[in-house]
Amino acid sequence: MSLAFNEEQRSLKDTARDFARDNTPVEALRQLRDTQDELGYSKEHWAQMVELGFGGVIFPEAYSGFDFGVKGLAGCMEEFGRTLTVSPLLSSVALSGSLILEAGNEAQKSKWLPAIAMGEKLVSVALEETSRHNPQATALSAEKVADGYKLNGKKTLVIDGHVADLLLVVARTSGQAGEQDGISLFLVDPEAQGVDVQRTVLTDSRNYARLELSDVVVAQDALLGEEGQGFAPLDKALDVARICLAAEMFGSIQEAFERTVEYFKERKQFGVLIGTFQALQHRAAHMYTEVQVCKTILMDALNALESGADNAPALVSGAKAKISEVAELVSNEAVQLHGGIGVTDELDIGLFLKRARLSQILLGDERFHYQRYATLSGF
């Protein structure tokens, strides 16, 4: 199986690279952060991304998509990671779109997937209840009532939750926290009575929200998939989002490494270029080899996921875990090897470190994914 993108995927990836370079460089992230933009992303840039087709990359043509698959979307995410592009692509397309595609009935797919693909609606998944990723630990309750279900509980780290037109709430209709059975998925209007959404601003300048549901009543047709059987489609959708996030992290890793190597070629100390210092060459060589390992395991996981291989979930977890580790290594080294200026806001390199730290824990840190990899591999 090829560890490279095919011609169509490369073309799509090149389009994403050109768009990010010309429209969403790191300076665009700085502007959003410094102006405390209430959306946290550029509507103009998102509209351009949708026009270029990024919103429909993974959806079938029947739902206004282009059916390029998760590998095509991951290639785009890699290029957007190089410029720390902020957009609803991860939350609304990779995660929410995949979840509706996996769990929704035909009416729900026909209503929401074209709207997501065309950028008409933004959708966010409300999953996490603590700072540590653990889908099975869902405790937010969904009680059966005459007209549907009544939801009570809290969520945190809802990606782009403050701008969502629809929330996909992961709730428990039976069983205990820690069990896979009993997890159900619900479509919730963020404007519904009893829903409180509060934006959370974190150091990586990505957009999150806290969510509190107090006696929120939803109709029976708000149930996405079968009652109590939501974990399996959720896990599949999470793997799509996890590998896309890993691809974005990989793009950021490459950019941080390349900027550091360029700095080696420019910065002089004691009258000579620091790139000639053997100790620094060793550190750069270590980073380079780790980056190449990340590329291999990322492509291997993407191939497995796209082909539906039995070991795909394990390979996705292996990729997310390894890339999270290397993101910490490279971002730390990049800041240190830039010297004193590396820890100032004047230099972009610190922004890559901040994004890396949050991305490491988002959708599962290395400890979660190494444990998942071991469990899925029979250990």
pLDDT at residue 38 is higher than 60: yes
Mean pLDDT of 105-113: 97
Tell me the C-alpha to C-alpha distance, in Å, between residue 27 and each of 22, 23, 200: 11, 10, 22
For residue 1, what pLDDT band results from cuts at 50, 70 and 90? low
Q: What is the pLDDT of residues 311-332, one digit of tens each?
A: 999 999 999 999 999 999 999 9
For residue 2, what pLDDT band results from cuts at 50, 70 and 90? low
pLDDT at residue 134 is higher than 90: yes
The secondary structure of the chain in percent helix, strand, coil, rounded to multiples of 5, reads: 55, 15, 30
Alpha helices by DSSP H, listed for 53-93, are 69-82
State residue 316's pLDDT score: 98
Distance CA 28, CA 19 (A): 13
Q: Which residue has the tokens 């969502």?
A: 164
CB atoms < 10 A from the CB of 335, how many? Answer: 20
Q: What domains lie within the chain, and their CATH numbers?
A: 7-121 (1.10.540.10), 125-230 (2.40.110.10), 232-376 (1.20.140.10)
For residue 116, what pLDDT band results from cuts at 50, 70 and 90? very high
Mean pLDDT of 62-74: 95
Mean pLDDT of 257-263: 96
pTM reported for the whole predicted model: 0.96
Max Cα-Cα span within the chain? 79
Mean pLDDT of 253-269: 95
Q: What is the pLDDT of residues 141-177, one digit of tens each?
A: 999 999 899 999 999 999 999 999 999 999 999 999 9
For residue 268, what pLDDT band results from cuts at 50, 70 and 90? confident
Lowest mean pLDDT among 5-14, 115-124, 213-222: 5-14
Mean pLDDT of 58-87: 96
State residue 205's pLDDT score: 87
pLDDT at residue 300 is higher than 70: yes
How is residue 28 written in tokens? 């665009």
Distance CA 213, CA 190 (A): 10
